[in-house]
């Protein structure tokens, strides 16, 4: 297609900021695949693969899966033919070491990021959102906050349940990890002269989407 610009985006923000919801919409809007490390890891757990078994303990404790595991997993994905048409990364990179690893992979491929997008939501709002959220155990769809445990997914018929790491204690730990390990990634990108755009992630889903598109441009 003529005139369509390939987009290479990183979507960042604390757990519960709405990266999954907004990432899916952005990917659709720009016609690019969305690669969510959280979704990839959860699928690996469901399938009981070696990757899934390695990740399980970290995820349930709200800790990060080791950088080497994540980088090994993403290197192949980013080198794929599909990713050559642009991509949106959701939940990766989450540490400065991962950002450095991603920069190496992109260098090797001769590619650059167009923007790193930070979806900003205050902590109180995050705790409120995550304690109420129900997620499809099969396709990952996020259900409205009044959904009862065990209801069926409107997309695939799977079970809508609370995620095993959405209990208040694990959420607090995930927020700490975000502050200590992931927030510094934004400063790292700013120092590396990558375009960082910050967007407020509160309010209606559609309004946040429009704010994002306006901030990203094109």
Per rule CB under 6 A, is residue 11 in the interface with ligand ADP? Answer: no
Pairing, β 134-136 against β 160-161: antiparallel
User: Smallest gap, in angstroms, from Cβ of residue 180 to ligand ADP?
Assistant: 13
Per rule CB under 5 A, is residue 153 in the interface with Zn ion? Answer: yes
- Binding-site partner at residue 92 among ligand ADP, Zn ion, none, CB < 5 to 8 Å by type: ligand ADP
Burial 47-86 (b: 16+ CB within 10 A, else e): eeeebbeebbeebeebebbebebbbebbeebbeeeebeeb
Strand, coil or helix: 169: helix
User: Smallest gap, in angstroms, from Cβ of residue 160 to Zn ion?
Assistant: 8
- Binding-site partner at residue 6 among Zn ion, ligand ADP, none, CB < 5 to 8 Å by type: none
Binding residues for Zn ion, how many (CB under 5 A)?
8
Measured from the CB atom, the residue of 3 and 205 that comes closer to ligand ADP is 205
Per rule CB under 6 A, is residue 101 in the interface with ligand ADP? Answer: no
Partners of residue 143 on adjacent β-strands: 134
Torsion sign (Cα): 152, 154, 158, 162? negative
Q: Cα(71)–Cα(101) distance, rounded to whole angstroms?
A: 7
Give me the catalytic one of 19, 34, 42, 129: 19
Binding residues for ligand ADP, how many (CB under 6 A)?
18
Q: Cα(186)–Cα(38) distance, rounded to whole angstroms?
A: 19
Q: Cα(207)–Cα(161) distance, rounded to whole angstroms?
A: 27
Q: x/- string (CB under 6 A) for ligand ADP, residues 61-90?
A: -xxxx----x--------------------
25 is catalytic: no
169 is catalytic: no
Residues 154-173, interacting with ligand ADP (CB under 6 A) = 165
Q: Cα(53)–Cα(66) distance, rounded to whole angstroms?
A: 13
Residues 110-139, interacting with Zn ion (CB under 5 A) = 136, 138-139
75 is catalytic: no
Residues near Zn ion, by CB under 5 A: 136, 138-139, 141, 153, 155-156, 158
């Amino acid at each position: 297609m003529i005139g369509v610009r390939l987009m290479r985006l990183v979507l960042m923000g604390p757990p519960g900021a709405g990266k999954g919801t907004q990432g899916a919409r952005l990917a659709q809007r720009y016609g690019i695949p969305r690669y969510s490390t959280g979704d990839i890891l959860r699928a690996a757990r469901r399938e009981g693969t070696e990757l899934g078994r390695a990740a399980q303990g970290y995820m349930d404790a709200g800790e990060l899966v080791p950088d080497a595991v994540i980088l090994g997993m993403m290197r192949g994905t980013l080198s794929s033919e599909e990713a050559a048409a642009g991509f949106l990364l959701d939940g990766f990179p989450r540490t400065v070491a991962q950002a450095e690893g991603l920069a190496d992979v992109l260098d090797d491929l001769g590619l650059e990021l167009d923007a790193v997008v930070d979806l900003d939501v205050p902590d109180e709002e995050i705790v409120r959102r995550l304690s109420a959220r129900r997620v499809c155990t099969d396709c990952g769809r996020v259900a409205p906050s009044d959904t009862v445990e065990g209801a069926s997914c409107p997309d695939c018929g799977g079970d809508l349940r609370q995620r095993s790491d959405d209990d208040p204690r694990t959420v607090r730990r995930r927020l700490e990890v975000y502050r200590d390990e992931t927030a510094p990634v934004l400063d790292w990108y700013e120092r590396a002269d990558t375009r960082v755009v910050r967007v407020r992630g509160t309010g209606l889903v559609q309004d946040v989407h429009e704010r994002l598109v306006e901030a990203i441009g094109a």
